[in-house]
Structure 1
Amino acid sequence: MTTLRSGQGGFTLVELVLVIALAGVVAVMISTVLSRPLQGFVDQSQRAELTDQAATALNRMARDIRGAVPNSVRESPNGLDFVSVHEVGRYEESADGRLPACDATPTPTCHIKVLTEMDAGRVSESRWLVIYNVGAESGGEPVEQRNLWHPSNPGVVTPPNASFEWDKATQQLMVKNADFFRFSFSSPQRRLFLAKEVVRYRCESGEFLRETFDTLDLKSRTSSVLLADAVSHCAFTYQPGTHTRNALVTLRLSLSKGGETISLIQQVHVDNAP
């Protein structure tokens, strides 16, 4: 038999079992103490992610609304529609205070003298010219000759087939393919707005979407971008302006994920002076 040298030793099986048991008790105690703070950190991170997603989406929507053609914002099913300004300018008023008509002779072209410099590229990209859109409604429906959502002749928005060019030499905006068209009114501030697309924000099946259209009847969609998912509730309301205040858009958006729900509300004042 081999004898142990003096000073040598080791763990017995009983000691090893006791150490394992004590280590297990300590681990359980630590996990119990730390689980609540750790879970709180995870929940807070989840809420921060949802808040950031919702705030980014609402800020994008608010920025677009501020750039809408005056009096073009309207409520739609599960969302909000408006025509986005692409280029803007001021025109020179004629002697009778009205804009020139698009006569058929000698060429079906409107020549509008503009007092501000315009970007030729943005002008040519535009689809509509809007002047003094008062956004009148009757029984919730747009009124002919007073609302761009009801195109007419005379009206406040050019026909859908019209095209535009900027003549820098003469400082004139030329409107083509708008035969015999006349604007209903002249703008008191002589403002004109060129627009390229209709924008719709809406919620559907838990998704918050930004869509664009190249027709006023919203039948031809050109893009659809997902701004937020996990949408549990959204509501967009529009209150037209009065003599004492601007129009007001109220945006409400709620997101839910992983047992966490956040709700944001944002209001946007809209200057509808046409």
Structure 2
Amino acid sequence: MKGFSCKSYRQCGFTLVELIMVIALAGIVAVMISTVMSRPLQGFVDQSRRAELTDLAASALNRMARDIRLAVPNSLRNEPNCSPLGCHTLELLAISEGGRYRANEWGTSGMRYDPPRCPESGGCSIPVLSPGMDAGKVAEARWMVIYNTGQAVWNYPSGAGPAVITPNNVQFELGCTSSEPCLNLTGAGATGFSFQYASPQHRFYLVRDVLGYRCETPGMASSGDGTGSLRRGVFDTLSGTYTYTGASLVVDSVSACSFTYEPGTNTRNGLVTLRLSLSEGGETITLLQQVHVDNAP
């Protein structure tokens, strides 16, 4: 026979056994390829997710660190009763402006007082040694602090001093002359007010807001499931506790957090330890950051 032709047969093609074998071999090859390729692809997805969670946690901690470095000395605090897993709230008075002051004159006697004091009628002026102060920030300030050595800054006075922080109803204005600037204190709270201590370095701080951070997550009592959040609150009053219901969101997917604060001593700065864990898609990352706090008043 010189050649082969399908015309010499009634039927030409593959048998059923051959088709089954081809399908089986193709399936085996597909499984081998998917097995080889799935692990690198899954690893890339997991690595991308971990990198994203790390960036989110790092950004949140860096923002907290920036606010902590701008805190009035000795004004940081945790919640009164921390859970067994640590403190989940950190609050502070944020410095909006500051400088150095001079002893001020009281009444018409010409005598100068340090710490500064205000007369029983009307407001008062406190000379300052900071010609570059921002008049807008001064006008926005709600409190003035001089020589806060402890948590007394949170125990604001309801009326006349002495105290380390002015009452709520005091307004501030940058006045006098450009060469000899001063802070004018007006309002009902300024009448008869006096600061409790004189600052050896004559430092003062103006505060516009109270800043607070709070972790809230249903799983905080156990291992955490990544359904929590870290929120940042801005408050315009001094209070023992604050509500963070309407606070702005800093980061979600929080599974655990802990904020600890060691005030320090006369020989070393305070130390804030921030620990934040984020979870998503079975991946969990934990970052820890420590911030030194200069509590020299």
Instruction: Give the one of 124, 136, 145 matched to 1:121.
Output: 136
Decide whether the 8 Å contact of 2:214 with 2:244 is kept in 1.
Answer: no
TM-score under structure 1 length normalisation: 0.86
Alignment match, 1:55: 58
Matched, 1:173 2:183: yes
Alignment match, 1:246: 269
Alignment match, 1:214: 236
How many angstroms does 1:100 deviate by? Answer: 3.2
Decide whether the 8 Å contact of 1:239 with 1:247 is kept in 2.
Answer: yes
Give the whole-Å Cα distance in 1 for the aligned partners of 2:62 and 2:100.
29
User: Where does the alignment leave 5 or more consecutive residues of structure 1 unmatched?
Assistant: 136-141
Instruction: Give the one of 112, 120, 138 matched to 2:126.
Output: 112
CA deviations 1:143-164 (Å, max 9, x no partner) are xxxx111113210000001110
Alignment match, 1:138: none
Instruction: Give the one of 145, 151, 155 matched to 2:156.
Output: 151
Give the whole-Å Cα distance in 2 for the aligned partners of 1:176 and 1:96.
19
Matched, 1:29 2:43: no
Give the whole-Å Cα distance in 2 for the aligned partners of 1:272 and 1:62.
15
Given residue 229 of structure 1, which amino acid in structure 2 is its aligned partner? Answer: D
Alignment match, 1:163: 171
Give the whole-Å Cα distance in 2 for the aligned partners of 1:257 and 1:220.
27
Decide whether the 8 Å contact of 1:68 with 1:84 is kept in 2.
Answer: yes
2:52 counterpart SS class? helix
User: Between Structure 1 and Structure 2, how many residues are aligned?
Assistant: 256
Worse-superposed segment, 224-233 or 92-101: 92-101
Pair 111,32 (structure 1): closer, same or farther in 2 beyond 3 Å: same
Aligned-residue sequence identity (percent) comes to 55
Question: 5 Å matches for 1:1-274?
Answer: 12=14, 19-76=22-79, 78-94=88-104, 98-105=114-121, 108-116=122-130, 117-135=132-150, 142=151, 147-152=152-157, 153-167=161-175, 169=177, 170-177=180-187, 178-205=190-217, 206-217=228-239, 224-274=247-297
How many angstroms does 1:229 deviate by? Answer: 1.3
What's the Cα RMSD here?
2.3
How many angstroms does 1:19 deviate by? Answer: 4.7
Alignment match, 1:139: none
Pair 221,232 (structure 1): closer, same or farther in 2 beyond 3 Å: closer
Pair 25,189 (structure 1): closer, same or farther in 2 beyond 3 Å: same
Pair 110,221 (structure 1): closer, same or farther in 2 beyond 3 Å: farther
Pair 168,18 (structure 1): closer, same or farther in 2 beyond 3 Å: farther
TM-score under structure 2 length normalisation: 0.79
Pair 104,220 (structure 1): closer, same or farther in 2 beyond 3 Å: farther
Decide whether the 8 Å contact of 1:100 with 1:110 is kept in 2.
Answer: no
Give the whole-Å Cα distance in 2 for the aligned partners of 1:162 and 1:11.
99
Given residue 112 of structure 1, which amino acid in structure 2 is its aligned partner? Answer: I
Alignment match, 2:85: none
Give the whole-Å Cα distance in 1 for the aligned partners of 2:288 and 2:95.
25
Decide whether the 8 Å contact of 1:212 with 1:223 is kept in 2.
Answer: no
How many angstroms does 1:113 deviate by? Answer: 0.6
